[in-house]
Structure 1
Amino acid sequence: MLATKDVTHSLSDPDEPGTDVLTDKAARRNLQRTAFISTLGGLLFGVDTGVINGAIGYMATPSELNLTPSDEGLVTSGITLGAAFGAVFAGRLSDKIGRRRLLKYLAILFLICTFACSVAPNAIVMIIFRALLGLAVGGSSVIVPTYLSEISTPSIRGRLVTQNELMIVTGQLLAFVVNAILGNMFGHVSHIWRYMIGFGIIPAILLFFGMYFVPESPRWLVMKGRAKEALNSLKTLRSRSENCETEISQIQNALNQEKEIKQATFKDLGTPWIRRLVLIGIGLGVMQQFIGINIMMYYGTTILTQAGFAHNAALIANIFNGVVSVLATIVGMSLMNRVNRRKMLTTGIVGTTVSLILIVIVSATLANSSLLPIFVVLCTMMFLGFFQGFISPLVWLLLSEIFPQNLRGLGMGVSTFFLWFANFLVGYFFPILLSGIGMTFTFVVFVFFNILSFGFAYKYAPETRGKSLEQIQLEFKYGDESGVNPESK
């Protein structure tokens, strides 16, 4: 799913012996604990986007909020519309007030908006607070990976940052489990959906209080000229305090170099290679969403109910989707450094396309058959396996690799905004399509989008594995098909 990764900053030089000071087990545990607390933001991301999967069927009934298909789309996808704006503004805000303080404020926003959604008296209030909740979701999707990259060491940076994405799908799985338990044990209770949504208050409280036990980012403190505080912060995360001063000096040198780099602005989009790079970033983000992941994550229970499951049985079956997402994410994290990017991405899209075609076939040929729900859940699990294992981590990795330092702020900001907006469009229109043309033809629409996505990925997705950021930039600037050797430039 859905987390922005900025992993370009180094707190120490991996090629310089003795600088990676994370060798003591106690220090490693302290760093892991800090990472776990901060990635509760990712867990909240997953819980708040996944909980609607089971709750929407209850709240849509006439005796509850009496939602129209359009209302269902706005309740479900309003969170992603808010996230688009939260992701855009979070980076600058965290530069002003700090990563730790912003995460604490986001925890408060998670808490207030989750509570407001759980007691919403009508659809309008629900839609408004789901959109406001999206600000926290989008903000955490940017700040958590940034914070993780700034507190980690080179030897574990990749694993620590991708831990956030694992926490997102774990949060969605947790939401599915809670939905199934509440739905099956207390489904007869009035307003049970309110308790499903209210569950998100618990991790929000844990994140808020947990932030009191983690240090501020040393890199941010150095940015603010608070080197002494940065040193003290770093010492809580490292076992060899004598090396911390060297690491702080490296941060200062890196920041001084960054100040000398002129950052790209919208005016630079007039340059053909920059415009092409940004358009590819936008295309990757939109492609990731139009493939259809969030029709599974947001409407999985609805799809299974349409296929013939009883609602309570659909809640339980949906847990398997969550389990597959978690396992596939783990597999994808292990593969991304061993398989070429383009091959992995196109293979994933072929897998999701075949999965959706199979859903179309079985829904058209096995209507009213007892086998239909079984085949549908197997197809959705297949879809999630290919998407979470091959597509989702690759898109975020490519976005973190294709933009050079001076273009990263503009490129990532614009690409992430369009990614979230595409997420909103998919979430909003799916229930409208489902109500208007039925499940079979709705999935035909997404088969078409998958075919377009394959064409885009095959033609435009760059191969970045094993290449430096400078080499990637030169290939976009001068063309890797013209025989240009980036090393000679």
Structure 2
Amino acid sequence: MRKEQRDETSDCSRVTEPLIEKDDIGRITEGSTFISLLSTGVAVLGSFQIGLCIGYTSPTQLRIVDEFDLSLSEFSLFGSFLTIGAMIGAITCFGRKGAMGFSSIICLLGWFAICFSQSSIWLHLGRLFNGFGMGVFSYVVPVFIAEISSANLRGTFTTINEVMLCIGKASIYIIGLFVTWRELTILGIIPCLILLFGLFFIPDSPRWLAKVGNIDMCAASLQRLRGKNADISDELVEIQEYIQTINTLPRAGFMDLFQKQYSRTLLIGVGLMLLQQFGGVNGISFYASETFVSAGFSSGSLGMIALGVIQVPFTIIGSLLMDKTGRRSLLMISALGSCLGTFLTGLSFFFTGQSIFLDWAPMLALVGIVVYIGSFAVGMGGIPWVIMSEIFSINIKGIGGSMVTLSSWGASWIVTFSFNFLMDWSTFFIFSAVSAIGILFIFKMVPETKGRTLEEIQIELNS
């Protein structure tokens, strides 16, 4: 019974030798941590790409609207096409390295379509392509990293993808203030090319290679990741046992997700994503500039610079704390801060609408959004994706991960399409209420996964 509940990534998360190997004079030998870090670094370029795609509409909104004479609804459609593409990408994930390479090519096509577009049709098509690639990246990157990382570093390594996502958003917010919207697409093209080049120098996931029956390549990949002098025999045996377990299980279908034994797992995965998105993050991120203008600023530049600066350090803090304080506590603190931040922002919009405290309203909006983004970055931004990669059992991990990712981008589409039309105090108060509900949900439903093997997590969830 214990073997049957082993998760898809658990066996590849254990090392039998020290993670950092040194020779007789103290030099780090080939492989080991370096290859794991290199592999993670290449993979998270996909996360950087997600940040660029999400943030692109904010500094470019007014210029694209003017050049193509778009209405508010037409630009909202352009912005939300990203999430439509992401929903398609979320249900078409395949492989690990192959998926990342294919997604990079699709994103390249999307950026070129936007860069050279002469009509709104090409804008929408480019945005759709970017969304497709983003949807695949959002699932495959955290899973790939979880499959190549050791158990004690899995949380930190996996949340590097959220750090890179935030760096992507920060980069496009700030650089977008100084270049044209067409020139800004170059910032999206460069990481796609680097990722494609980098894939030639990293091993594929040992777990994935074993899953498709290539044990020899699995062993070679594992040896590179653990170091050329590491003894991988025990870990390789565990992987082979895992494959035998998979072969004894029936092939999971979509309806299997709704069986009683998986109900809590599905509820946790989907619930965290819905709380993440309905808390307003992508509405605020997609249209940050317009949000600050609506709050009373003469332009959105100051607010966008503030968002760009604040996200990265808070995300790094969250990733460092995750394997120390735990996922669950960080999620609750993050949801509490998000609740406060959106409440303050809603209060600012309320004051503006009632024509009271007009001198204070813009600064209150800035403080509220900065508090929200900082709090979100600490936990709610990255931890749900880490938990998603940890909680599903081996036989439903693929379909479960796709379902969770699909629900995330589906909720994001609702928020991003409607946000421009509903940008008033009540909307931010709704975001605040969602975050408050999130605190209760996390307290009652989400298990602590810090420092636990994926097998142990499965035993708790299915007991």
Q: Which interval holds the TM-score relative to the shorter structure?
A: 0.7 to 0.9
| 1:202-281 paired onto structure 2 within 5 Å | 202-241=190-229, 243-244=231-232, 247-268=235-256, 271-281=259-269
Residue 426 (structure 2) aligned to one of 427, 441, 444? 441
- Could you tell me how far 1:474 is from its partner in structure 2? 5.6
Q: Is the 8 A contact 2:9 2:147 kept in 1?
A: no
Q: In structure 1, what residue type is equivalent to 2:127?
A: R
Residue equivalent to 2:189: 201
- Could you tell me how far 1:444 is from its partner in structure 2? 3.1
Residue 177 of structure 1 pairs with residue 174 of structure 2: yes
Q: Is the 8 A contact 2:55 2:172 kept in 1?
A: yes
- Could you tell me how far 1:35 is from its partner in structure 2? 2.2
Q: Is the 8 A contact 1:10 1:153 kept in 2?
A: no
Q: Is the 8 A contact 1:72 1:431 kept in 2?
A: no
| 1:110-189 paired onto structure 2 within 5 Å | 110-182=107-179
Residue 311 (structure 2) aligned to one of 309, 322, 325? 325
Q: In structure 2, what residue type is equivalent to 1:293?
A: V
Residue equivalent to 2:50: 45
Residue 75 (structure 1) aligned to one of 46, 66, 78? 78
- Could you tell me how far 1:9 is from its partner in structure 2? 3.4
Residue 432 (structure 1) aligned to one of 418, 421, 427? 421
Residue 403 (structure 1) aligned to one of 368, 392, 413? 392
The runs of 5 or more residues in structure 1 that have no matched partner are 1-5, 183-191, 479-489
Q: Is the 8 A contact 1:150 1:217 kept in 2?
A: yes
1:133-162 CA distances to partner (integer Å, 9 max, x unpaired)? 111111112222233233334453333222
Q: How many residues align?
A: 448
Query: Secondary structure at 2:181's aligned position in 1?
Result: helix
Distance 2:233 2:257 in 1: 40
Higher mean alpha-carbon deviation, 468-477 vs 386-395, is at: 468-477
Residue 299 (structure 1) aligned to one of 267, 281, 287? 287
Higher mean alpha-carbon deviation, 406-415 vs 101-110, is at: 406-415
Q: In structure 1, what residue type is equivalent to 2:413?
A: F
Distance 1:416 1:243 in 2: 36
- Could you tell me how far 1:473 is from its partner in structure 2? 5.0
Q: In structure 2, what residue type is equivalent to 1:66?
A: D
1:166-211 CA distances to partner (integer Å, 9 max, x unpaired)? 11111111111211232xxxxxxxxx22222342111112222222
Q: Is the 8 A contact 1:356 1:379 kept in 2?
A: yes
Query: Secondary structure at 2:318's aligned position in 1?
Result: helix
Q: 1:370 to 1:401 in 2, by over 3 A?
A: same
- Could you tell me how far 1:381 is from its partner in structure 2? 0.8
- Could you tell me how far 1:424 is from its partner in structure 2? 1.0
Residue 58 of structure 1 pairs with residue 96 of structure 2: no
Q: Is the 8 A contact 2:114 2:185 kept in 1?
A: yes
Distance 1:157 1:348 in 2: 20
Residue 375 (structure 1) aligned to one of 359, 364, 384? 364
Distance 2:320 2:295 in 1: 34
- Could you tell me how far 1:378 is from its partner in structure 2? 1.8
Residue 435 (structure 2) aligned to one of 427, 450, 459? 450
> Identity of counterpart residues, as a percentage?
28
Q: Is the 8 A contact 1:118 1:197 kept in 2?
A: yes
Distance 1:269 1:403 in 2: 10
Higher mean alpha-carbon deviation, 357-366 vs 423-432, is at: 357-366
Q: 1:270 to 1:145 in 2, by over 3 A?
A: closer
Q: TM-score when scaled to structure 1?
A: 0.82
1:21-67 CA distances to partner (integer Å, 9 max, x unpaired)? 75535533343233212221111111111122111221112xx1222
1:113-147 CA distances to partner (integer Å, 9 max, x unpaired)? 11101222233332232122111111112222233
Residue equivalent to 2:342: 356
Q: 1:271 to 1:442 in 2, by over 3 A?
A: closer
Q: In structure 1, what residue type is equivalent to 2:54?
A: T
Q: In structure 1, what residue type is equivalent to 2:201?
A: F
Distance 2:163 2:65 in 1: 30
Residue equivalent to 1:389: 378
| 1:409-428 paired onto structure 2 within 5 Å | 409-428=398-417
Q: 1:246 to 1:338 in 2, by over 3 A?
A: closer
- Could you tell me how far 1:232 is from its partner in structure 2? 4.0
- Could you tell me how far 1:463 is from its partner in structure 2? 4.9
Distance 1:127 1:333 in 2: 34
The runs of 5 or more residues in structure 2 that have no matched partner are 1-6, 23-27
What RMSD, in angstroms, separates the aligned Cα atoms of the two structures?
A: 2.9
